[in-house]
Amino acid sequence: MSSAPRWDVEGRDWPNRAASRFVEAGRLRWHVQVMGDGPPLLLLHGTGAATHSWRALAPLLAEHFTVVAPDLPGHGFTTGRPAGGLAMPAMARALGELLRTLAIAPATIVGHSAGAAIAIRMALDGQAAPATIVGLNPALMPFPGLAARLFPALARALFVNPFAPHVFARLARTRGETGRFLARSTGSQIDAEGVAFYERLLTTPGHVSGAITMMADWDLESLKRDLPRLRTPLLLVHGEGDTAIPIATARAAAALVDGATVMPLAGLGHLAHEERPAEIAAIIRDAAGGR
């Protein structure tokens, strides 16, 4: 069992592989996919995912935009750790450095789940100045009540246990377990190819460790406090069947941001962009000004 995903093994037939490149920026070696032509658009995946989650959406957006999609630190084929670890401000700074290295200033940032929180953090901290931010099933608000303390504490406990990533990776190798886990935890039904790529990542302890570390370092209380300072137009697109993050949290976050809007999607779950990529691509195009 490999410690981290290997480009020549787990990445051997990676979606949109021809668009992949490896970029040194700061303390990281980033796996980035760049495709298309037009105004720059940055795609930020969520916790536990990687660029494979954009496998169908990115080519559709590339018909109208220059799409830039990195694997976040600790995820996929990006290696190294930013200064400050995988906390949200550190991730935002690291991505800002990547964009400066690429000489790209995104006009639109699209973030899924935790990626939406990073997109907003980048705008708040001056790491990017997009004209529009689109959050797909965004994870922006702290867990309610007791869960607010239990979930980060559990992630930190798993982080300090060196065996935890190996245990999770072993579970992911159980026949059919990854597909069952995704359906149960997200409310989404994605195709077998998508499940296979998640399984490929979740069976590598290095990727699992990155996801756990990110959760252990996450601070949504600070983001909630700062949301009213956001001046970038914000659209939150949320599947009504999301079992991971209820749509009510998107509405609560939008209420804190002047002019923010929520677009509910009937019949879709947390991975709505993988379930109906053409529909999501059209929504993003409209939000970016019909480009």
198 has a pLDDT exceeding 70: yes
154 has a pLDDT exceeding 50: no
Residue 70 DSSP SS3 = strand
Is 19:52 a contact under the CB 8 Å cutoff?
no
On whether residue 107 sits in a domain, the answer given is yes
Instruction: Note the pLDDT of residue 240.
Output: 97
Is 107:40 a contact under the CB 8 Å cutoff?
yes
Beta-carbon count within 10 A of 104 CB: 17
On whether residue 58 sits in a domain, the answer given is yes
Q: Which helix H or strand E contains 68, and what residues bound it?
A: strand 66-70
CATH of the domain at 73: 3.40.50.1820
162 has a pLDDT exceeding 50: no
Phi and psi torsions of 252, nearest 5°:
-65, -40
Locus of tokens 């592989």:
17
- Read off the pLDDT of each residue in 90-115 and give the average, rounded to a whole number: 97
Instruction: Enter the pTM of the model.
Output: 0.91
Pairing mode of beta strands 28-36, 20-25: antiparallel
pLDDT tens per residue across span 222-261: 999 999 999 999 999 999 999 989 999 999 999 999 999 9
134 has a pLDDT exceeding 50: yes
Instruction: Note the pLDDT of residue 171.
Output: 54
Pairing mode of beta strands 234-239, 20-25: unpaired
Cα angle vertex 251, ends 248, 256, to 5°?
Answer: 135
Is 110:42 a contact under the CB 8 Å cutoff?
yes
Beta-carbon count within 10 A of 230 CB: 20
On whether residue 214 sits in a domain, the answer given is no
On whether residue 49 sits in a domain, the answer given is yes
Q: How many domains does the structure of the chain reveal?
A: 1
For residue 169, what pLDDT band results from cuts at 50, 70 and 90?
A: low
167 has a pLDDT exceeding 80: no
Give Cβ neighbours of residue 160 (< 8 Å, ≥ 6 apart). none
Is 189:241 a contact under the CB 8 Å cutoff?
no
On whether residue 137 sits in a domain, the answer given is yes
For residue 213, what pLDDT band results from cuts at 50, 70 and 90?
A: confident
The mean of the pLDDT values for the chain is 89
Is 82:26 a contact under the CB 8 Å cutoff?
yes
SS (H, E, C) 169-200: HHHHCCCCHHHHHHHHHHCCCCCHHHHHHHHH
Residue 236: domain span: 17-146+220-287
Distance CA 81, CA 76 (A): 13
Q: Which pair of tokens denotes residue 224?
A: 């909630």
On whether residue 71 sits in a domain, the answer given is yes
On whether residue 283 sits in a domain, the answer given is yes
Distance CA 84, CA 207 (A): 18
Following DSSP, what letter does each residue of 228-274 receive, concatenated?
A: GG--S-EEEEEETT-SSS-HHHHHHHHTTSTT-EEEEETT--TTHHH
On whether residue 199 sits in a domain, the answer given is no
141: DSSP letter: S
